Amino acid sequence: MKINVLENTPSVLRFTLSGADTTVSNSLRRIMINSVPCFAIDRATFYENTTSMFDEYIAHRLGQVPMLTPTKGYDENDEIVFSIETEGPITLYSKDLKSTDKNVRVANEAIPILKLAEGQRLKVEGKAIMGTATRNAKFQPGLITYKMKDDGTFEFYIESFGQMEAKEIMSKALSIISEELKGLYKELEK
């Protein structure tokens, strides 16, 4: 197999893969989408909500905000708390989510979450955990597609949602595949 990089920026990685078939290409794409772990707000506790929106609606919006996911030092047992306490009139943006961990914070500060009218109050804490998209789509690290070209190569497009660089999504997916194959080899040796 051979890879030819066409574009490599922090948010986008484009490359062609030759010498592979559709099953290999699709497996790589599915691992990148479903198995690369990243942080997302999974649970929210509301202490005050006098807005016109239901708690569940706001919790869903908070869960969709991409969180920076450091390369090392975190696992599925870590919980990072994000909090908001505000009063309207104000437009609440992702930048207003205050993290208890300086390394895990919102990836894009300009995402509008909610508009509060005069006198409306919101006080909420959201717990971010590390998960994969096999559990919920909010843990998906990016948009990953490929297309087969006329010469039989596959052109991949990886666009990060901001949790990690596009190249890191690919790197983590390859590590996951490698570990799974090692486990398979051990089982076959038994």
> 68-82, pLDDT tens digit by residue?
999 889 999 999 999
pLDDT of residue 11: 97
pLDDT of residue 151: 93
pLDDT of residue 186: 87
pLDDT of residue 56: 97
DSSP string, 17-31: EES--HHHHHHHHHH
Q: How many domains does the chain have?
A: 2
pLDDT of residue 63: 96
C-alpha 92/C-alpha 81 separation (Å) is 18
Same domain assignment for residues 53 and 109:
yes
Same domain assignment for residues 19 and 79:
no
pLDDT of residue 190: 80
Same domain assignment for residues 86 and 108:
yes
Secondary structure (3-state) at 167: helix
Same domain assignment for residues 128 and 78:
yes
The CATH number of residue 146's host domain is 3.30.1360.10
Write out pLDDT tens, residues 130-150.
999 999 999 999 999 999 999
- For residue 151, CA distances in Å to 31, 66, 94, 145 come to 25, 36, 44, 18
pLDDT of residue 184: 87
Q: Which residues of the chain have pLDDT under 70?
A: none
Residue with tokens 């969709």: 64
The CATH number of residue 78's host domain is 2.170.120.12
C-alpha 53/C-alpha 104 separation (Å) is 27
pLDDT of residue 121: 97
What domain range includes position 156?
Answer: 2-36+141-189
Same domain assignment for residues 112 and 174:
no
pLDDT of residue 161: 96
Same domain assignment for residues 67 and 113:
yes
Same domain assignment for residues 152 and 122:
no
**pTM of structure:** 0.90
Same domain assignment for residues 23 and 83:
no
pLDDT of residue 71: 87
pLDDT of residue 122: 97
